[in-house]
Structure 1
């Protein structure tokens, strides 16, 4: 992705209010989140999660996910995924996941390096696992020469912008259970999936048989902060200790918890995700009218995947930041955020049409 141009006098990147389509990680922080941080920034509170704000977050999380749910605020999504998988597996375990999974492609091998497990990656056209794919790749049980399959990890919404229905997740969970495996969900964009399907968070997780969720906040308006939500305490051990030894235990945890509480206590999580999804659909509809643009994945959340000529992509990227998803094919990804506006989308698709015509 082309970076912001350097200031001609200082050599440092200029900061602008411009919004691009590279990632929801690049979006601003929602004003309600900043307000929540200001509210808790008064006086002293116990450290390491013994504060009143984190206690309140635990109540909110149980309201969404059920009475057995346990929440562990984390700094980032990679940390949430690594600690989750460590708690669900042994050093000789394997984790079955899609080839496109974030734990495989974008976490610098952290799960394998830190947790000592083996990722068994499965090619999929839409980023989604099925019971048939699990059956084909969860093998070697009892073979002393082989890593032992322990966890199935799925992403919601997927890295390709598609979503699992509750029924699809339940089928994956059932296939895992049949083999004595547990289910981890990377929910970096679970809010977008729930908004897309019009179902509560519990329907996609607890009720569908997911054991552990990495809950995403940063992509949905937070300054920083994700969480591990343990839905089935019987599927894990030592999460609290693993979080500390993995350098993910915040001393002033109330500042992470306050953001997650503000997101989940009302409907902010849903409003933010619903808007981002709507902007993606608007972008998709306009892009489909541009000759030569091929939409490559179903637009079910807040991302649009497309094929455009390399030259057009390079020219367009000089005007709006976005990533090339697959360098081999030239497939690009355009991501919308809670703060993406209709004006942003319309300006981008106008520029897309101009560069495709050029």
Structure 2
């Protein structure tokens, strides 16, 4: 039995991964639990997921459920590449900073991190960092990987994705998207998921669900079947093939068959805007990035951050600059934000 003041009852702002599982997702898992179904993806839920994904991304879309985002990224990038390939990505990208070298260790790929001010690549940056084709001394640029929304909370417009796809394809390269928060981006832009994926020329998408209410499970969505090789084999070899796949697929169906994906993302984005307004009112707090999805980046004094972290969980983004990151989730409330802003104001004035 826990008291209302127990830390386990306090919603923090460290990550949308810290949120629980949405009740509709839990209900879908329970509903999928009846009876026996074939293993390894030959079940009813996975067949339904393929239909749902094609409705969102087009009839050419092929969907491969996996356990987690790192698995989706590694398997997707490996299927798009050769052993001598290089992948261009933002220097702040998850595949470069937060996946323990998995793309390099597991897939054997060379990552080329590109410095950016806002976490977003541009055709000009691709031109600057993609070179060396035909030179056996140089890893061969094959894939441009972007994150939507970016690790800095910024969002690529459909036009920006289309420009990157055209740039990559003109140079014989492919475009991959780490879509850990792809739903938040669609909600922020008020466009369908396909507007900045299929319709913009994207080749492969890592579709993220756990940051938007799932218990576990993401998916590699192949939008151009000609862009990949050996997906079925690489998923198994990469230890991402679930035997009881119906439980991964059932969650994604519950998220995407209706509007739960959009409701959750819209709410998280709205809470980030509310949080930004609340902390802007605190003297001495400076927001450093545009608040476009469900992230707020700000600079506060290190001693304030240390004291505030004893009351609320959140992450330090750049320790040297004193920059912190506050994330909102599908279950963030206005009361959560009011309590956090009050605590921040108290620590800033202490």
**TM-score, with structure 2 as normaliser:** 0.98
Aligned residue among 330, 338, 347 for 2:330: 338
CA distance in 1, matches of 2:315, 2:306: 10
Aligned residue among 333, 340, 344 for 1:352: 344
1:42 corresponds to 2:34? yes
Aligned counterpart, 2:17: 25
Aligned residue among 281, 288, 292 for 1:296: 288
1:289 CA drift (Å): 1.1
CA distance in 2, matches of 1:332, 1:180: 38
Aligned counterpart, 1:230: 222
Aligned counterpart, 2:188: 196
Aligned counterpart, 2:202: 210
1:321 corresponds to 2:321? no
CA distance in 1, matches of 2:327, 2:192: 23
Aligned residue among 103, 112, 117 for 1:111: 103
Aligned counterpart, 1:79: 71
Gaps of 5+ in 2: none
Aligned counterpart, 1:183: 175
* Residues 312-346 of structure 1: per-residue CA shift (max 9 Å, x gap): 00011000000101122121000000000000011
Q: How does 1:273-288 map to 2 (within 5 A)?
A: 273-288=265-280
Q: How does 1:11-160 map to 2 (within 5 A)?
A: 16-160=8-152
CA distance in 2, matches of 1:330, 1:73: 38
CA distance in 2, matches of 1:18, 1:77: 26
1:15 CA drift (Å): 7.0
CA distance in 1, matches of 2:10, 2:319: 26
Aligned residue among 283, 298, 301 for 1:309: 301
CA distance in 1, matches of 2:27, 2:246: 14
CA distance in 2, matches of 1:290, 1:15: 24
Runs of at least 4 residues of structure 1 off by over 3 A?
none
Aligned residue among 250, 262, 281 for 2:254: 262
Q: What SS class does the counterpart of residue 47 from structure 1 fall into? A: coil
CA distance in 2, matches of 1:81, 1:103: 7
Q: What SS class does the counterpart of residue 214 from structure 2 fall into? A: coil
CA distance in 1, matches of 2:60, 2:123: 27
CA distance in 2, matches of 1:15, 1:52: 40
Q: How many residues align?
A: 346
Q: What SS class does the counterpart of residue 115 from structure 1 fall into? A: coil
Q: What SS class does the counterpart of residue 8 from structure 2 fall into? A: coil
**TM-score, with structure 1 as normaliser:** 0.96
CA distance in 1, matches of 2:230, 2:48: 22
